[in-house]
Amino acid sequence: QNPKTSAIVKQLAAEGNAGELQKYFGSRMEFGTAGLRAAMGAGISHMNDLTIIQTTQGFCRYLEKNFSDLKKRGVVIGFDARAHLSSGGSSKRFARLAANTFISQGVPVYLFSDITPTPFVPYTVTYLKLCAGIMVTASHNPKQDNGYKVYWENGAQIISPHDKGISQAIEENQEPWPQAWEDKLIDSSVLLHDPYATVNKEYFKDIQKQCFHRNINKETNLKFVHTSVHGVGHKFVQLAFKAFDLSPPFAVPEQKDPDPEFPTVKYPNPEEGKGVLTLSFALAEKDGAKIILANDPDADRLAVAEKQESGEWKVFSGNELGALLGWWIFTCWKNHNRDTRAIKDVYMLSSTVSSKILRAIALKEGFHFEETLTGFKWMGNRAKQLMDQGKAVLFAFEEAIGYMCCPAVLDKDGVSAAVITAEMASFLATRNLSLSQQLKAVYDEYGFHITKASYFICHDPKVIQRLFDNLRNFDGKNTYPKSCGRFKVSGIRDLTTGYDSSQPDQKAILPTSKSSQMITFTFANGGVATMRTSGTEPKIKYYSELCAPPGNSDVEQLKKELDELVNALEKHFFQPEKNNLQRKTE
């Protein structure tokens, strides 16, 4: 019933444009553990009013089956600031339609009255003890995209088999229910609640448990620049600084207000390097700020840059900031826990494609480290399991600039990560140390961990399949590569098939998934490289790391060795020319 998408389809039908219609209606968006992520537009392959209604009807029925008290507890729904003029779709509209679906079935809905960061949804699920949460966002994807992210009652993103159950329920509930389109009905419903004021108060109260140096924060002369990259983060990072008694950061004026067009950046993703930070650098130079904090548009990720002695800006990789935050959060914990026995219940987590620096810190300091599959859905769920067993999960991170610094949110949170980074930098400044100098100190103490990650773009699933099939049948059927250029392969773990050469029974310990590609190669020189497909973008990603024991400080030699390993990986395993892959460009 959306006049805009309806008109697009009628126009194509009148023109007899079968090719375009096939694109719109050929296949339904797949509902996976990351929920939905697609362009906004007409047809069942896009995010629009109808597909949101259908998805929510399926999700509602699935929750009814799993929770006898759904009508007592309810769900939370949040949204970012995305909007798409030509199809009339927007995150706010989708959130209201989703709310209407639940309310029509007698389910209470806690619908945020305004835009919020993604981490506020899992926070609300936990705080209000709800059955589930939905966040309408496409995070840092291009402006035409939107998404529908789902959290379970434990406050973490869903994992299998929920995705399959929800997907099946969507298939079974495709015809819109009688009042599905009438979202105005919710405004007068007693089942509609607005958690905005409560959550804004309680969240900032909870993150203050991670504030350890209030006096330093009040006194510091360190200046920060913050950008929300046209997303939702501005107001919330300002409030977080206030909660920690830090002076507010300078906000990049051209990027501080939400704008679904993202006019000043090519991609609204701080992970993509210095291009996104150009305006931040200029403001920092003008105001004499040393540190830049950049959130992605839904404020669940954080990038950090620091001005070096040379006048150059260093943008920290996700692994480098993970090393710093891991060191900092453990140091704060240690200083506040004099009972040495408590350390046996302390945990940190990171994903299998992230740096193993936390493992090195854990080995030396005596706490536990665990790795999970890629993605915060795994870390969030594992953290909850550990917390339910009485363990303390201090920190979890992934190299894609995602950090969980506060146990009140079982997902990545760019708001708490930003303010905790600011407190760490302020503390280090009292010792005349920069973040970069402290990072070197961490590596000196626990061993250098040099990482390099990138990706190739490939829009053809057949090419991707062929590339990975080739790796599994490299020297004849069912044989993996024994070397990559001059680098000898010493171990292989394939989490698509479940094979792991390092295990006595050759079976991988981490869960396997046939629906996504992921192979990890260990090399005789101590290097590790993982190749995997992305769940939300047309990319084949790779991650590589060389770890040296403490005391091996020939960093340049390590970097050179890793560069050569990565070049060999690209040339022999990716074969970009043969497979017509497009390289990541700055």
SS3 290: coil
Q: Which residues in 433-453 are b (16+ Cβ under 10 Å) and which e? A: ebbbebbeebbeebbbbbbbb
Question: What gap in Å lies between CA 411 and CA 418, rounded to an integer?
Answer: 15
Please report, as a single letter, which amino acid is at residue 57.
Q
Q: Sort strands 291-295 and 302-307 into parallel, antiparallel or unpaired.
A: antiparallel
Per-residue pLDDT at 586:
45
CB 233 within 8 A of CB 419: no
Per-residue pLDDT at 514:
86
Per-residue pLDDT at 536:
76
Q: What DSSP line would sit under 460-475, residue for residue?
A: -HHHHHHHHHHHHTTT
Asked if the structure places residue 198 within a domain, the reply is no
Q: What DSSP line would sit under 513-571, residue for residue?
A: -TTS-EEEEEETTSEEEEEEE-SSSSEEEEEEEEE--TT---HHHHHHHHHHHHHHIII
> Do 164 and 59 share a structural domain?
yes
> Do 256 and 377 share a structural domain?
no
The verdict on whether 416 is a catalytic residue reads no
Q: Sort strands 483-484 and 192-193 into parallel, antiparallel or unpaired.
A: unpaired
A 10 A CB-CB count for 288 gives: 10
> Do 465 and 433 share a structural domain?
no
**Which one is catalytic: 45, 139, 317, 351?**
139
Here the CATH number for the domain that contains residue 280 is 3.40.120.10
Asked if the structure places residue 200 within a domain, the reply is no
> Do 9 and 147 share a structural domain?
yes
Q: Which helix (H) or strand (E) holds 312?
A: none
The strands making up 346-351's β-sheet, listed across from edge to edge, are 368-372, 346-351, 392-398, 402-404
Q: Degrees (nearest 5) of the Cα angle 391, 393, 395?
A: 170
Q: What total number of domains does the chain contain?
A: 4
> Do 239 and 377 share a structural domain?
no
CB 121 within 8 A of CB 133: yes
Cis peptide before 161, with omega less than 30 degrees from 0? yes
472: phi > 0 → left, psi -120 to 50 → alpha, else beta; which?
alpha
Q: What is the dihedral of CA 145, 148, 154, 156, to 10 degrees?
A: -20
> Do 270 and 237 share a structural domain?
yes
Residue 108 CA from chain centroid, whole number: 28
> Do 70 and 167 share a structural domain?
yes
Question: Could you tell me where the beta strands, DSSP code E, fall in 40-151?
Answer: 75-79, 83-84, 89-90, 109-111, 132-136, 145-151
Question: What gap in Å lies between CA 237 and CA 225, rounded to an integer?
Answer: 11
> Do 35 and 177 share a structural domain?
yes
Task: Find where tokens 């995209």 sit.
Answer: 145
Domain-ending residue, one of 446, 480, 511:
446
Asked if the structure places residue 463 within a domain, the reply is yes
Question: What gap in Å lies between CA 290 and CA 272, rounded to an integer?
Answer: 21
Per-residue pLDDT at 542:
96
Per-residue pLDDT at 537:
82
Asked if the structure places residue 266 within a domain, the reply is yes
Domain that holds residue 40: 3-193
- pTM, two decimal places: 0.94
Q: Which helix (H) or strand (E) holds 333?
A: helix 318-336
Asked if the structure places residue 199 within a domain, the reply is no
Here the CATH number for the domain that contains residue 484 is 3.30.310.50
Burial class (CB in 10 A: 0-12, 13-18, 19+), 336: exposed
Mean pLDDT by 10 residues, the chain (586 residues): 96 95 94 92 97 98 98 98 96 98 98 98 98 97 96 96 96 97 96 98 98 98 98 98 98 98 94 90 98 98 97 97 98 92 96 96 97 95 98 97 97 98 98 98 94 94 95 94 97 96 94 90 94 89 92 84 96 95 80
Question: What gap in Å lies between CA 410 and CA 406, rounded to an integer?
Answer: 8
> Do 453 and 400 share a structural domain?
no
> Do 324 and 412 share a structural domain?
yes
Task: Find where tokens 């949101």 sit.
Answer: 52
> Do 438 and 482 share a structural domain?
no
Question: What gap in Å lies between CA 90 and CA 114, rounded to an integer?
Answer: 13
Domain-ending residue, one of 310, 330, 358:
310
199: phi > 0 → left, psi -120 to 50 → alpha, else beta; which?
alpha
Going by C-beta distance under 8 Å and a sequence separation of 6 or more, which residues neighbour residue 462? Answer: none
Q: What DSSP line would sit under 372-427, residue for residue?
A: ESSSHHHHHHHHHHHHHTT-EEEEEEETTTEEE--TT-SS--HHHHHHHHHHHHHH
Per DSSP, 204 falls in state: H
Burial class (CB in 10 A: 0-12, 13-18, 19+), 504: exposed
Q: Degrees (nearest 5) of the Cα angle 194, 115, 75?
A: 45
Task: Find where tokens 């892959």 sit.
Answer: 581
> Do 185 and 51 share a structural domain?
yes
Q: What phi and psi, each to the nearest 5 degrees, are found at residue 325? A: -65, -40
Domain-ending residue, one of 405, 429, 446:
446
Count of residues in the chain: 586
